[in-house]
Structure 1
Amino acid sequence: MKLLSHLLTRFVRDGRLTVIDHRGARHAFGSGEGGPDVTIRFTDAAVEREIFLNPELRAAEAYMDGRLVFEAGSGVFDLLRLFSVNRAGLGSHPVQQVLRRSWKALRGVHQANPLGRAAKNASSHYDHPASFYRLWLDARMAYSCAYFEHPEQSLEDAQLAKFRHVAAKLKLVPGMRVAEIGSGWGGLAIYLAQVCGARVTAINVSPEQLAASRERAEAAGAADRIIFVEQDYRELEGRFDRVVSVGMMEHVGVAHFDDYFTAVGRLLEPGGFALVHAIGRMSPPGSTAPFIRKYVFPGGYVPALSEVFASTERTRLWVADCEILRLHYYWTIKAWRERFEAARAEVVAQMGERFARMWEFYLAAVELGFLDGSNMVFQLLVAHTRDAVPVRRDYVLDEERRLRAAEEGAGA
């Protein structure tokens, strides 16, 4: 425990972490105030060295493999909250500074998403059975940040409000042609067709999601207005009145941002505009955490806004509007985590215990990234010309009121 104790003494200041080593000896770290009180036990000596060298990855793997065991009522969320409130102390340790510099130096390799590999990376996360995601997502299967009109709003209503907010910004009229880049389980495409009367071409690289999307569109009576296509964003052809991309830019990789915005611009008709909704960071450019990179979103990266705007500058797109959603994804993921916990036995039955533990770690880590960390969500409106988007934001509220009334008639 000598090396790990050296790290934890510098790292844990708020709250308390008690570690029971493989011999049964107890080691306590932290003041006991200002954070959770967590007790963990290691089943072997090797895990202590592994966690010292790469705590963000190895602690997760040790829990997934049953080598890190929680005691005294502690759990994954408590441990990660302890990490979250002490994150500055971890980053200041010399070993961790070297590790972070290496991650940043290698991010071009980690985020490489050429044609073919991009689909493989996405498949590793999104091609789990739809029945698994149904256990904890809302009824529309929206797997991106909801738009909470108040913190106590239900997840279902907040996801519907997100669709409404996106559609309002797009200012659609019936018959408009819309390209959706990264269509998930089809919820937004169905809304745009059903409520707004748009004709949607929705692309995705996940066969599992596309199959479920086609079934859902058929059930909603919107299949005649939506084409779901298995295709990379760089391969889509044609011109569209609007382009929308929700939760997709995080999978592009910083080396491909110009490809992404070039594709968005190429798809727009003269006078058209696009909406890009993605996770970002308020901090400077960085790298993807090793656990997320290895197990959750290979090839993924949450950009700094400086990286996003640098790309729109290079691709000569007007950023007509930028809205920052600061707490909305925290509320969203909190609801997902609570639903996941309620359905955990069913998750284990479908996917196995190790997978369930991995997903627990993922949901808790990301939730806390939006509560204590630097993560947020941004929505951009981009266009070729400065006047494609209405010059005042009032139109968004007017459109939301109109769409709210239209939803009941459309059976949304």
Structure 2
Amino acid sequence: MLFHLALKRLIRHGTLRVRYPDGTQQTYQGAPGPDAGMHIATPRALRGMTFNPALALGEGYMDDEIRPEGCSLYELLELLLLNLMAGGTHPAERAMEVWRKLRRRIDQLNPAHRAQRNVAHHYDLNGRLYSLFLDRDRQYSCAYFPTGKETLEDAQAAKKRHIAAKLKLDRPGLEVLDIGSGWGGTAITLAQEYGARVTGITLSTEQLAVARARAAEAGLADRVTFELMDYRAWTRPVDRVVSVGMFEHVGIDHYRRFFRVIRDALKEDGVALIHAIGRYEGPASTNPWLAKYIFPGGYSPALSEVLPAVEKNLLHVTDIEILRMHYAETIAHWRARFAGNRDAIASLLDERFCRMFEFYLAGCELTFRHGGHFVWQMQVARKPDAVPLTRDYMFEAERQAAERARQSA
């Protein structure tokens, strides 16, 4: 059996027990390590795991044709990922990865009409869903854990302070463009706490409606506006540009255009901050299950793929920070909240959706914990002296903002 041979090559650490569709059981064992089991319940699932496992594992779990046995889904995925990262191989997966790399530019073509369709696939779901596992501000991106002991709400507030400090919002009335403004939390915070005038742009109709309602409720409709707009349509100069968790949806064919839009949008002394997911191991492709079910057209780039686009647009990189493990901790909070509200989510959508989202959250947390993904924050400017020469101004602005938050709590 081809899959049996593949697992013998894959499992180098720990123990994996597999029950096959015909009832036979096999144990695959390497050096001492974690222990997990799975039941491949149907011949269809076994064929998928033999020839395209990166897609078939998630689909099999969604369809209840692949089940963890004697362990959680998280423990099963952790065992498999640790062995992949340790150099274990699945011959079919290696061949499929070559194919995915060859066609990734086609998969990531993202003209405006396709970009809006891709955004709607994930973000225009039932509006209540995200309120059931995100923080109160609906921050759907990596939080910031200075000590590791913060609540999710505190860590997301810290993330916004961290970003605001890098934007150098040192005087009221600065005009900010927020590309990919989500449910409006960042834009509202920048206006409310830093006196900025913010325009948020999004391609999600669901997020747009929520963000506009939140701005009106906060009494900020005169300082915060939200538009349904592709970033490529922006033409007006601003003092600052911020983009949090949106760059993963740009597509590698469009990186130069993205940074050209930022360069053209910035005033001569302007500053931009981009917060996005990256990968350590260099250029690759998006997991096929994630691309099909969660983020069509999405890709988390290596920095070696991003920096040439910055350079071609004659922008100066004035700061780069790598946030390690912060997203793993963020998603751990999301997974716990999702599990706690699973019955409510199933009533909104259905059981298959819940299984899909559980697989997505567990897989993503493990990718940030063990699999070579991280978050980068890149500050760019048109002039190299647009910000001070050391990071001291960032630390001081962040300290002052945290103190204001403590006093108002």
Scaled to the shorter chain, the TM-score interval is over 0.9
When residues 408 and 223 of structure 1 are mapped into structure 2, their CA distance, relative to the original with a 3 A threshold, is farther
1:218, CA displacement in angstroms? Answer: 2.0
Once residues 350 and 391 of structure 2 are traced to their aligned partners in structure 1, the CA distance between those partners, rounded to angstroms, is 48
Instruction: Find the counterpart in structure 1 of residue 287 from structure 2.
Output: 289
Please say which of residues 309-318 and 201-210 is displaced more in the overlay: 309-318
Query: Is the CA contact (8 Å cut-off) linking 1:91 and 1:97 kept in structure 2?
Result: no
Instruction: Find the counterpart in structure 2 of residue 381 from structure 1.
Output: 379
1:166 aligned counterpart, secondary structure: helix
Instruction: Find the counterpart in structure 1 of residue 33 from structure 2.
Output: 34
Instruction: Find the counterpart in structure 2 of residue 86 from structure 1.
Output: 83
2:162 corresponds to 1:165: yes
Query: Is the CA contact (8 Å cut-off) linking 2:9 and 2:88 kept in structure 1?
Result: no
1:94, CA displacement in angstroms? Answer: 3.1
Instruction: Find the counterpart in structure 1 of residue 41 from structure 2.
Output: 43
Aligned counterparts, 1:49-60, within 5 A:
49-60=47-58
1:195 aligned counterpart, secondary structure: helix
Q: 2:233 aligns with which of 232, 235, 260?
A: 235
Letter paired with 2:104: R
Instruction: Find the counterpart in structure 2 of residue 104 from structure 1.
Output: 101
Please say which of residues 246-255 and 14-23 is displaced more in the overlay: 14-23
Once residues 362 and 31 of structure 2 are traced to their aligned partners in structure 1, the CA distance between those partners, rounded to angstroms, is 22
1:27 aligned counterpart, secondary structure: strand
2:67 corresponds to 1:69: yes
Once residues 394 and 89 of structure 1 are traced to their aligned partners in structure 2, the CA distance between those partners, rounded to angstroms, is 40
Please say which of residues 122-131 and 86-95 is displaced more in the overlay: 86-95
When residues 88 and 158 of structure 1 are mapped into structure 2, their CA distance, relative to the original with a 3 A threshold, is closer
Q: 1:138 aligns with which of 135, 138, 147?
A: 135
When residues 319 and 127 of structure 1 are mapped into structure 2, their CA distance, relative to the original with a 3 A threshold, is same
Query: Is the CA contact (8 Å cut-off) linking 1:12 and 1:89 kept in structure 2?
Result: no
1:91, CA displacement in angstroms? Answer: 6.1
Query: Is the CA contact (8 Å cut-off) linking 2:249 and 2:299 kept in structure 1?
Result: yes
1:68, CA displacement in angstroms? Answer: 1.2
Instruction: Find the counterpart in structure 2 of residue 10 from structure 1.
Output: 9
1:90, CA displacement in angstroms? Answer: 7.0
Deviations 1:49-91, CA, capped at 9 Å, x for gaps: 111111111011011111112323x221111101111014676
Instruction: Find the counterpart in structure 2 of residue 391 from structure 1.
Output: 389
Once residues 408 and 236 of structure 1 are traced to their aligned partners in structure 2, the CA distance between those partners, rounded to angstroms, is 37
Query: Is the CA contact (8 Å cut-off) linking 2:182 and 2:202 kept in structure 1?
Result: yes
Once residues 200 and 115 of structure 1 are traced to their aligned partners in structure 2, the CA distance between those partners, rounded to angstroms, is 23
When residues 408 and 31 of structure 1 are mapped into structure 2, their CA distance, relative to the original with a 3 A threshold, is closer
Letter paired with 1:179: L
Instruction: Find the counterpart in structure 1 of residue 184 from structure 2.
Output: 186
2:173 corresponds to 1:175: yes
Once residues 220 and 11 of structure 1 are traced to their aligned partners in structure 2, the CA distance between those partners, rounded to angstroms, is 54
Instruction: Find the counterpart in structure 2 of residue 331 from structure 1.
Output: 329
1:229 aligned counterpart, secondary structure: strand
Please say which of residues 81-90 and 133-142 is displaced more in the overlay: 81-90
**TM-score, length of structure 2 as denominator length:** 0.97
Instruction: Find the counterpart in structure 2 of residue 309 from structure 1.
Output: 307
Once residues 217 and 196 of structure 1 are traced to their aligned partners in structure 2, the CA distance between those partners, rounded to angstroms, is 15
1:287 aligned counterpart, secondary structure: coil
Instruction: Find the counterpart in structure 2 of residue 209 from structure 1.
Output: 207
Once residues 28 and 349 of structure 1 are traced to their aligned partners in structure 2, the CA distance between those partners, rounded to angstroms, is 38
Q: 2:361 aligns with which of 354, 363, 379?
A: 363
1:223, CA displacement in angstroms? Answer: 2.2
2:32 aligned counterpart, secondary structure: coil
Q: CA RMSD in A?
A: 1.5
Deviations 1:19-38, CA, capped at 9 Å, x for gaps: 11112111111237212x22
Once residues 369 and 85 of structure 2 are traced to their aligned partners in structure 1, the CA distance between those partners, rounded to angstroms, is 15
Instruction: Find the counterpart in structure 1 of residue 121 from structure 2.
Output: 124
Once residues 185 and 90 of structure 1 are traced to their aligned partners in structure 2, the CA distance between those partners, rounded to angstroms, is 40
Please say which of residues 99-108 and 395-404 is displaced more in the overlay: 395-404
Deviations 1:336-393, CA, capped at 9 Å, x for gaps: 1111111111111111000100100110111011111110111111011110121110
Q: 1:401 aligns with which of 387, 399, 403?
A: 399
Once residues 197 and 232 of structure 2 are traced to their aligned partners in structure 1, the CA distance between those partners, rounded to angstroms, is 21
Once residues 308 and 340 of structure 2 are traced to their aligned partners in structure 1, the CA distance between those partners, rounded to angstroms, is 43
1:356 aligned counterpart, secondary structure: helix
1:301 aligned counterpart, secondary structure: coil
When residues 408 and 371 of structure 1 are mapped into structure 2, their CA distance, relative to the original with a 3 A threshold, is closer
Once residues 88 and 135 of structure 1 are traced to their aligned partners in structure 2, the CA distance between those partners, rounded to angstroms, is 33
Query: Is the CA contact (8 Å cut-off) linking 2:11 and 2:88 kept in structure 1?
Result: no
Identity rate, percent: 45
Once residues 22 and 93 of structure 1 are traced to their aligned partners in structure 2, the CA distance between those partners, rounded to angstroms, is 20
Query: Is the CA contact (8 Å cut-off) linking 2:281 and 2:372 kept in structure 1?
Result: yes
Please say which of residues 62-71 and 368-377 is displaced more in the overlay: 62-71
Query: Is the CA contact (8 Å cut-off) linking 1:320 and 1:386 kept in structure 2?
Result: yes
Instruction: Find the counterpart in structure 1 of residue 23 from structure 2.
Output: 24
1:257, CA displacement in angstroms? Answer: 0.4
Query: Is the CA contact (8 Å cut-off) linking 2:235 and 2:265 kept in structure 1?
Result: yes
Q: Count matched residues.
A: 408
**TM-score, length of structure 1 as denominator length:** 0.96
